[in-house]
Amino acid sequence: MSPMNPNSKISEIESAFPEQAPELRWPLLVDRANHQSLSPAEYRTIWKNCFSKWNVEDDGPIPIWIPSRDHLQTSNVTKWQKELGIETYEGFHRWTTRHRAEFWEQAIRRLGIQLRTPAEQTLDVSQGIPQTAWLPGATLNIAESCFQADQSAIAIISQKPGGPLRKQTFGELRCRSNQVANSLVDAGFEVGDSLAVVMPMTDWSIAIYLGILMAGCNVVSIADSFAPPEIATRLELADAKAVFTYDHQNRAGRQLPLFRKVIQATDARCIVLATDDCVSVDLREQDLDWTEFLVDRSEFEPVTCTVNETINILFSSGTTGTPKAIPWSQLTPIKCAIDGYCHQNIQPGDVCAWPTNLGWMMGPWLIFASLINRATIALYEDVPMGSGFGKFVEEAKVTMLGVVPTIVKAWQASKKMEAFDWSSIKVFSSTGESSQADTMVYLSSLANIKPIIEYCGGTEIGGGYVSSVVALPNFPAAFNTPAVGIDFVLIESDQHDTQTKPRAIPGDEGEVFLIPPSIGLSSRLINRDHFQTYFEGTPTVNGLPHLRRHGDYFRRFISRLGSIFVAGGRADDTMNLGGIKISSAEIERVLNQVDGIIETAAVSHSQKGGPDRLYIFAVADPSNGAVTDEVNATTASASPASETTEPNAALLSKMNKAIKSQLNPLFKIDSVQIVDSMPRTSSGKVMRRKLRDQIS
């Protein structure tokens, strides 16, 4: 018997239900379609047919997923709101922000956070909102709260390309972490020392991370993709006493040096793990092979800490040339875990995968959001682009898969992930850059239409401020709620300035200002004035004296299924290149050193979602003929009919080499344009928005 052709298969599914409101019909169609073997293209056809009469102008964006009664009954937030006697999710969120102390008290109990000394109170704002104190008097070591699951339950599933799945229990992970903590004490490190981790996400890197915390030290998180100068900057800012790293990395069939990069950046002691069978590099006199460092003692009493003691120093670019060094406290993981509980709906026994790195906040987030919620972390030790990753997701039975939209675009182009059974996935989550609706519809269909939790926040927040929940309809490339325990207002940029601090009127579009306080929000910066960075000069809204500056630009839309939020990029000069935040100033600092260049301005633009594209405007030195000759030569050789030929190809190549070698090899400049001068404000600041207008 020949298989049913795609058109008749779609017709059979669609004809099973009479015409009715599309938001009621769509879940029924999805349920029936899930019993068929449909391609993403077929799911998309059924979706478009179902909502063909939906008037976007009047009804708002089209949903991709609508919760059923069963979904609502198994949702963490729905269970919580029912216990409180609150009828709607919207009412629940209002409760989390109007009764903040009570919300966080309940959150801490639900998560089972292990406090050694109870707090004197939950929330103290007697010194003002910017100096909010959470759980004053309490002591704990947050690493202990990561081991509450049954010790025989699986904590980590990992795999190297072509290798078998490796499983590690919570008990085994705890023993490994204890070994690391004992080894740190034996090696002479002291409570409060900063220890850098420059390594990919592996089962050992997680044990190292937790072992450092158990010993009362703090982790300095540095992405392994950074070039030596950027590694050096971060090590210096954090005053790192030592560095954990691998000898090399195996990525997409290539062997990439890692230890060699680190020793170009620092003279500090390195503790070096072997990626393969044994360490493949020559160590310096001060360095330690992992096998020399690690002691065979698996019992350790975690160091007791106050709530404000640092566990992790992470880095986020602002609008100057030096990254902000942001300390996470013992309480920040509570924000990670409650976000995972409420937004990604992580439950005991779930398997959580998110291709990430300890140098990006989502690496530590994944550790805490998974382990504190008694779920499993799934780690694939290679790039997530090929069939190996797709097979890993299937075999590990991943239930929550996190992505960066760039990854999904690659899957959509290659279609490689369509060969795998991802039916175990209950929810996707996306962060790091703006999404595109078409890409997110494709992603949802890879798991037979599942919700995608868009998640936006920051390192200085410890998680998200706007997200989605599975208790509400889900819209592709949009958010359906502020994060639990926090709220924000949108203010047009011309309604406020840092000098006059006028009263501002919130609207449906504008720059994001957070309404503090919340656990997770940073209270200090290592190398900046915290109050000046986040609070000074912020506007007054509805009697709220201390809004907190964030810098994102958002729009609010009203759908017939509820309010949704859509990201509009950054309101300041920070950009997001492939999931890595960096400021214009950092890029310009490197490019201004290129021979023949007087000044540069870096601006970013994303036309249809996805990662920001990097454009450079440059002022050439008229006394240096090299740049002028290069420009003239490439312009003369370009075809007049070609609109895609880069007229400054030689300069573009030179600048790309500079940022790849001095900042990050993953960065790429799309275009360079020579200008006579930069547009400036009366105070002399470059008006990057005017430059951005030239490329939009």
Q: How much is the pLDDT for 643? A: 36
pTM summary value = 0.86
Q: Tell me the Cα Rg of the chain.
A: 26
Q: How far is residue 295's CA from residue 186's CA, in Å, rounded to a whole number?
A: 8
CA-closest candidate to residue 268, choices 239, 225, 308, 303: 239
CA-closest candidate to residue 528, choices 325, 235, 327: 325
DSSP-assigned letter for residue 474: B
Q: How far is residue 317's CA from residue 667's CA, in Å, rounded to a whole number?
A: 15
CA-closest candidate to residue 582, choices 554, 608, 611, 619: 611
The answer to whether 404 and 432 are in contact (CB under 8 A) is yes
Q: Residue 271: count other Cβ atoms within 10 Å of its Cβ.
A: 23
Show me where the domains of the chain are located.
6-53, 76-467, 485-564, 574-693
CA-closest candidate to residue 673, choices 578, 599, 581, 610: 599
Strand partners, 616: 602, 672
Q: How far is residue 553's CA from residue 540's CA, in Å, rounded to a whole number?
A: 18
Q: How much is the pLDDT for 3? A: 44
Q: Go through 459-485 and write b for each residue having 16 or more CB atoms within 10 A of its CB, e for each that does not.
A: bbbbbbbbbbbbbbbbbbbbbbbbbbb
- Tallying the residues shown for the chain, one arrives at 696
The backbone torsions φ and ψ at residue 478, rounded to the nearest 5 degrees and listed phi first, read -145, 165
Distances (CA, A) of 427 to 67, 468, 554: 12, 11, 24
The backbone torsions φ and ψ at residue 594, rounded to the nearest 5 degrees and listed phi first, read -65, 135
Q: How far is residue 362's CA from residue 360's CA, in Å, rounded to a whole number?
A: 5
The backbone torsions φ and ψ at residue 487, rounded to the nearest 5 degrees and listed phi first, read -145, 170
H and E: helices and strands count for the chain: 23, 32
455: helix, strand or coil: coil
Q: How far is residue 3's CA from residue 647's CA, in Å, rounded to a whole number?
A: 53
Q: Is the dihedral of CA 467, 469, 474, 480 positive or negative?
A: negative
Q: How many CA atoms lie within 13 A of 539 on its CB side?
A: 22
Q: Is the dihedral of CA 532, 537, 541, 546 positive or negative?
A: positive
Contacts with 142 (C-beta within 8 Å, 6 or more apart), sequence order: 113, 213, 311, 330, 331, 333, 334, 368
Task: Tell me whether the CATH fold assigned to 76-467 matches the one assigned to 574-693.
Answer: no
Q: How much is the pLDDT for 633? A: 44
The answer to whether 234 and 243 are in contact (CB under 8 A) is no
Mutual orientation of helices 437-445 and 40-50 as an angle, nearest 10°? 120
Q: Residue 245: count other Cβ atoms within 10 Å of its Cβ.
A: 28
* Mean pLDDT, each 10-residue run in order, the chain (696 residues): 59 85 92 88 94 86 91 93 96 97 98 97 95 97 98 98 96 98 98 98 98 98 93 96 96 93 97 93 96 97 98 80 91 98 98 96 97 98 96 98 91 95 97 86 96 96 97 95 96 56 69 95 96 91 85 86 84 73 77 86 72 87 61 40 55 91 88 86 58 77
Q: How far is residue 123's CA from residue 102's CA, in Å, rounded to a whole number?
A: 9
Strand partners, 403: 430
Q: How much is the pLDDT for 421? A: 96
The backbone torsions φ and ψ at residue 425, rounded to the nearest 5 degrees and listed phi first, read -70, 130
Cis peptide before 517 (omega within 30 of 0): yes
Through-space distance between the first and last CA atoms of the chain, rounded to whole angstroms: 54
Q: How much is the pLDDT for 683? A: 36
CATH number of this structure's domain 76-467, picked from the four choices 1.10.520.20, 3.30.230.80, 2.70.98.40, 3.40.50.12780:
3.40.50.12780
The backbone torsions φ and ψ at residue 670, rounded to the nearest 5 degrees and listed phi first, read -85, -35
- CA dihedral of residues 281, 284, 290, 292 (deg, nearest 10): 130
Q: What angle do CA 661, 667, 671 make, to 5 degrees?
A: 105
Q: How much is the pLDDT for 608? A: 57
Q: How much is the pLDDT for 498? A: 45
560: helix, strand or coil: coil
CATH number for the segment(s) 574-693 = 3.30.300.30
Q: How much is the pLDDT for 666? A: 85
CA 567 to chain centre: 15
The backbone torsions φ and ψ at residue 627, rounded to the nearest 5 degrees and listed phi first, read -65, -45
Distances (CA, A) of 521 to 223, 241, 461, 462, 526: 22, 27, 4, 6, 15
DSSP-assigned letter for residue 657: H
DSSP per-residue string spanning 195-213? EEEESBS-HHHHHHHHHHH
Distances (CA, A) of 143 to 172, 238, 308, 313, 605: 15, 21, 15, 16, 40
Q: How much is the pLDDT for 115? A: 98
Distances (CA, A) of 26 to 22, 67, 158, 183, 478: 6, 10, 36, 56, 19
Q: How much is the pLDDT for 607? A: 57
Q: How far is residue 607's CA from residue 591's CA, in Å, rounded to a whole number?
A: 24
